[in-house]
Amino acid sequence: MYIPPPRYIDFDRSSRSNALKRGWDRLIGQAIENVSDLPRVLDPLKATNNAIQDSVTWSGFPRALDSWFDVGNDPARMAAAHRAAEVVYRTVPVVVARPDRSEQLANVPFNPGQNIYLAPQRRNGVVSANDAFGLTERPQDEYLEWHTVRDPQTGAVLRIDFTSEPPEYWSFLAEQDAELAATVYSELLDEQVDTDDIIFPGDVFCPRFLVNTNEVIYLGHVRLADQRIDFPARFEAGNYNPDNTWNTKRGAVHLIQRNNTLLAEINLAANATRRFAVRPDLQAQIDRFTLTACGGFGGLNRNSDPSIGSFVNTLALDNHRVMVSNPLGLFISEVQLGGFRDPQGNSVDRDEILTTVRGDWNDEPGRARVVRFSIHPPEGAGYTLDQCTFNDHALDTGGPIARKTFIAVHGIAEPGTLQNPLPDHPIELCGADLVEHPTLRPKLFAPVNWASRLQVGVPEDSLAIDSTRAMMRVMTGGREV
Amino acid sequence: MAKALHHRDLRREAKQQGEPVPPIASLAIAFSAQALARLGMPTAGADPNFDRGMLQDLRTIGDPLGEDDLPSDWRFGHTDETRIDLLLVGGESSEPSLNSLFEKWCGILSSGWALVHWDFARRREDDKEFFGFNDGVSQPGIRGLRPDGTPLVNRPISSDDPRSLEFARPGQRLVWPGNFILGYQREVEGNSPGSIFEPPQSWMRNGSYLVYRRLNQNPERFREAVEGLRAYLASQGEIASHDWLSARLVGRWKDGTPVVMSPDGPNTEIGKDVFRNNNFRYAFGEQEIKVTQQDGSTRIVMATPGDPRGKLIPLMAHIRQINPRAGQSEEGAEQHPQKLMLRRGVTFGKEIEEDPEGERGLIFLAYQTSISRQFLFVQSTWANSANAPTSWGPDPIISQDGTASPKRRIRVFVPSGRPHDCPFNGRWVIPTAGEYLFLPSLTGLKELCQS
Ligand code: HEM
């Protein structure tokens, strides 16, 4: 059976425990089934004793923010990145109607004053700005998200909660047993959370506007479920609301950044088993970003996806079928707290400031599977976290700790053998568009088939062509410069 | 720096031509933050770890702490009476002349300072540290030019090979000088230089932070542990020799041959060939490289295989754990060159046969411009960690976990070709003193003396 990331710590508390276990098994089983036609994807439940386990780890602070702020070695820029990581942004899909009767969706910043909000329909049929919410995201896209708990009066930092639980798990739990989900929410946040807070009482509605050349007219709210939006949630009565206030403004119970999903991880792992033209074998000198760009899987400016991708790809090219091992999840494998200093500048024992809330640092020998932990001052200490430092950064955000928090994907790989040989592993051309390489300068490069798509005549045997030159050719319409 | 390198070249040339080797007589003097404060030298803006001193970082570094949070194994450096203010590092070609050099200096300093400790360090045969491995094989190449316009370090790779932009000798990563010396452009991701690392105080220009660690080694305990590992694997049906295993723990055979190029045993032809013994990047193989030798002749350096999965050099092997090169890590390969330091290990103590009960080990000296991003990062984030740079376990040679008998689980590819997790508990490297110091330039030193 497929096991959920926190194992059965919640399911076992439900009166419908067995149904929950079977339901989760079906959910993941379906996801694996969907990718199983790729020749080097392994169904982890079918792994034999011959299979090996290995893990890939990355640091939990968003690489994208470090790039954006060009932090290099500059502490001030790094502090700016830490602050930016905690700016939650909210957007609302709105239906834009044109005078010619065409309609399209646009994503605009949440603004209830201008009628730009989502709201579930109440039992009496009303959609009200009193229930307004937006699609919320923390810009924390390395499969680790955190929430800084502040004193409402003083703003002092009381605690920082870190989580790597995927949204799918919580949607599943809440929709199967809302009472239990609300109870666990309450326990994790030490607050009173009701089922109504996390489950939509009615279908969710989004605004519709008529946009003329010189005016914008609000036409009322329409059902969001009828629109095709790219967000990992469902918006009908009885569905779980991942954007509920306890998972956004007032806490972090699970991942919510749109790319931080378990299904994304499974798809990424599956697609990374393919054999790409830029790296037909393990000797090709290709970095993880180029590989990711070529494979078209995952985000380029992240630590996580390119690391997972090149890890899986290495195993697949080395004659293995690969998948994430069961329980499938994203796990916190380590948090290094040696850089913590109290207001006097003294270091503190990790056990005094760390509470491991869900999961186990030694879940299996050598494999940590923690999904939630909190950092707080030692019990009875007369100070708050913002008075402390972490590796010489003020601890007024969770960023410095996220840098020293490592996330892992535990993989499982079944080697091909004489008795059980692997099917062919065809070379596939690259599937990416012109992309910006995160570290190479000049930064732009075009993976090979871009050039070939534009028919500039890249010979077949120069698959690992110099990427900048390929780009130049593309830019000059194929003429050599 | 240019002068020192020139002197080194002279010695090397003389050695190669069989002429008398010019004597080394050198003396470096480095200062702790407390000493500088006492001397009234301004240090505002200096590296914060340096300012606080090494004792404050021991929880991170992993040395076991006893009463009052003081390191239980340190012999000196941790109490008021034995605090390290100055570190003198002297070099002479013979023991008597070294002794007289030191006596002279201790005399000069005796007005204000008392001698805390003195170690006689020396190069053992074939530069072997006490576990028997040739040390000092791998060193970053510093970018930059000498006053006469020639590169600071030899750049033998032919300039039409793009790898000449990244490497000095094959596999020897070029690093911007601001990574080691204050006042120069520093290393950031990619090969282009970062901003200039301005010295926090003008007198600190051209200086460097020197990390000093006195690491006792217990060769017998290490031998027993490797023997235990051998027996453990044998009990699992995996037959590997003692030397085979210890080479997997370090990443090189005892003579310096990288395991990735010679999996079954040492090969002195590779181990002693400076064009080959660093020419590997783990993540992928290296194609042939054309190099120009000292005498002007050219030569083709053979291709080397990659080892992305750690089949030959396990991901936790000492040289891979503390420098993953282009291989896997939690930070990403593009960040690795920033972690490099200029490392100088010298052995201290007598041979076991001469003095079975005596102390012996390695004086670890490393020069850098950011303690937290270099030494401290490498020791704590990587060496001590079971999950970084990879999940293959902590460094089997130098990792510390705050206890006198660290528990480790390490992963090796066993002879039958599978990765295997093994216990590897115990401690054979015991830190017995240390400090963060600042090594000023000669000009800086003059300013310091004048004050
Ligand atoms: C008694 C303790 C130690 C012993 C016996 C030891 C031994 C060795 C040996 C045999 C090598 C291979 C030779 C070479 O590549 O130069 C090596 C390399 C190295 N060691 Fe150590 N070492 C010790 C402590 C340390 C410490 C404390 C650090 C840093 C925190 C360190 C960092 C390095 C680095 C950076 C390399 C070069 C790796 C490379 O670039 O491939 N070592 N060491």
- The C-alpha of B103 sits at a distance from chain A's nearest C-alpha, in angstroms, of 38
Whole-angstrom distance, CA of residue A22 vs CA of residue B111:
80
**Distance separating alpha carbons of residues B231 and B228, to the nearest angstrom:** 5
pLDDT at position B430, please?
98
Q: Which two tokens stand for residue B315?
A: 């991901």
Q: A312: nearest CA in chain B?
A: B309
CA dist B229 and B67 (Å) reads 34
Residues B408-427: what's their mean pLDDT? 95
DSSP letter string, B321-375: HS--TTS--SS-GGGGGGG--EEEEEEEE--TTT-TTS-EEEEEEEEES-TTTTH
For residue B172, what are its two tokens?
């020897």
Query: For A407, which residue in chain B has the nearest alpha carbon?
Result: B330
User: Do residue A287 and residue B326 have CB atoms under 8 angstroms apart?
Assistant: yes
Is the beta carbon of B255 within 6 A of some atom in ligand 1?
A: no
pLDDT bin (cut points 50, 70, 90) of residue B323 is very high
Residue A433's pLDDT band, with cuts at 50, 70 and 90, is low
Does residue B258 sit in helix, strand or coil? strand
CA distances from A292 to A57, B114, B190, B294 (A): 17, 60, 18, 41
Task: Give the closest residue to A290 by CA, choosing from A66, A448, A116.
Answer: A448
Given A52, A336, A408, which is nearest B391 (Cβ)? A408
Among A176-190, B113-127, B258-272, whose mean pLDDT is lowest? B113-127
- Which residue's alpha carbon is nearest to atom 25 within ligand 1? B398
Task: Characterize the bridge pairing of strands A204-211 and A89-97.
Answer: parallel
Give the distance from residue A406's alpha carbon to the nearest chain B alpha carbon, in angstroms: 7
Mean pLDDT of B305-330: 97
Averaged pLDDT for residues A375-402: 97
Residue minimizing CA distance to atom 13 of ligand 1: B135
Instruction: Look at residue B438 in the predicted model and tell me its pLDDT.
Output: 98
Contacts of A72 in chain B (CB under 8 A): 188, 194-195
For the ranges A76-85, A286-295, A386-395, B13-22, the lowest mean pLDDT is seen at B13-22
Name the minimum distance, in Å, from the CA of A338 to any CA of chain B. 4
Partnered with residue A135 across adjacent β-strands are A91
C-beta of residue A209 within 8 angstroms of C-beta of residue A197: no
Q: How many Cα atoms within 13 Å fall on the side-chain side of residue B342?
A: 18
pLDDT band at B9 (very low <50, low <70, confident <90, very high): low
How far apart CA B380 and CA A200 sit, in angstroms, is 47
- B428 CB less than 6 Å from ligand 1? no
Closest CA to A335 of A393, A394, A411, A391: A391
Query: B398 CB under 6 A from ligand 1?
Result: yes
Domain residue ranges of chain A, discontinuous segments joined by +: 35-85+258-475, 89-137+203-236
CB B263 within 8 A of CB B137: no
B362: Cβ below 6 Å to ligand 1? yes
Residue A372, helix vs strand vs coil: strand
Q: Which of residues 224-243 of B touch A (CB under 8 A)?
A: none
In this structure, what DSSP letter does residue B97 have?
Answer: H
CB atoms within 10 A of CB B18: 7
Q: What is the mean pLDDT of residues A439-444?
A: 59
pLDDT for position B307:
97
Work out the mean pLDDT of chain B and round it to a whole number: 92
Closest approach of B366 to chain A, Cα-based (Å): 20
Is the pLDDT confidence value at A480 over 70? no
Decide: B368 in ligand 1 pocket, CB within 6 A: no
Task: Give dist(CA A133, CA A121) in Å, integer.
Answer: 12
**Residue-wise pLDDT tens digits, A316-368:** 999 999 999 999 999 999 999 999 999 999 999 999 999 999 999 999 998 99
User: Looking at chain A, which residue has its C-alpha nearest residue B374?
Assistant: A73
Using an 8 Å Cβ cutoff, are A331 and A371 in contact?
Answer: yes
From residue B209, how far is each of A384, B16, B47, B61, B374 by CA, in Å?
33, 33, 8, 17, 11
Per-residue pLDDT tens for A96-110?
Answer: 999 888 899 998 999
A239: three-class secondary structure by DSSP: coil
Contact state of B56 with A345 under an 8 Å Cβ cutoff: yes
- Please state, in angstroms and rounded to a whole number, the distance separating the CA atoms of residues A342 and A381: 10
User: Can you give the pLDDT at residue B220?
Assistant: 96
> Which band of pLDDT confidence, cut at 50, 70 and 90, is reported for residue B27?
confident
Distance CA A34, CA A28 (A): 10
- List the beta bridge partners of residue A427: A275
Q: Tell me phi and psi for residue A52, to 5 degrees.
A: -110, 155
Crossing angle between the packed helical segments A167-176 and A262-271, to the nearest 10 degrees: 130
A72 to chain B: closest CA residue: B188
Q: How far apart are CA B370 and CA B372, in angstroms?
A: 6
What separation in Å is there between the alpha carbon of A44 and the centre of ligand 1? 39
pLDDT tens string A120-148? 999 888 999 999 999 998 999 999 999 99
Cβ-based contacts of A336 with chain B (< 8 Å): 60, 380-381, 385, 388
pLDDT at A475: 33
Size of interface A-B (CB pairs under 8 A): 120
Does residue B288 have a pLDDT over 60? yes
Q: Tell me: pLDDT of A248 over 80.
A: yes
Give the pLDDT confidence of A206-224 residue by residue, as tens digits.
999 999 888 899 999 999 9
The pLDDT assigned to B7 comes to 60
For B130, other C-beta atoms within 10 Å of its C-beta total: 23
What does the mean pLDDT of chain A come to?
89
pLDDT category at A179 given cuts 50, 70, 90 is: very high
Q: Compute φ and ψ for B387, nearest 5 degrees.
A: -120, 0
Give the span between the Cα atoms of B5 and A107, in whole angstroms. Answer: 61
Q: Do A73 and B188 touch (CB under 8 A)?
A: yes
- A29, amino acid identity: G
Q: Crossing angle for the helix pair A288-295 and A304-317, nearest 10 degrees?
A: 80
How much is the average pLDDT of A444-467?
Answer: 39
pTM of the model: 0.93
- CA–CA distance, B189 with B332 (Å, rounded to integer): 10
Confidence of residue A373 (pLDDT cuts 50, 70, 90): very high
pLDDT given for residue A441 in this prediction: 58
Q: What is the 3-state secondary structure (H, E, C) of B365-393?
A: EEEECCCCCCHHHHHHHHHCCCCCCCCCC
Number of C-beta neighbours around residue A94 at 10 A = 24
How far is the C-alpha of A34 from the C-alpha of A19, rounded, in Å?
22
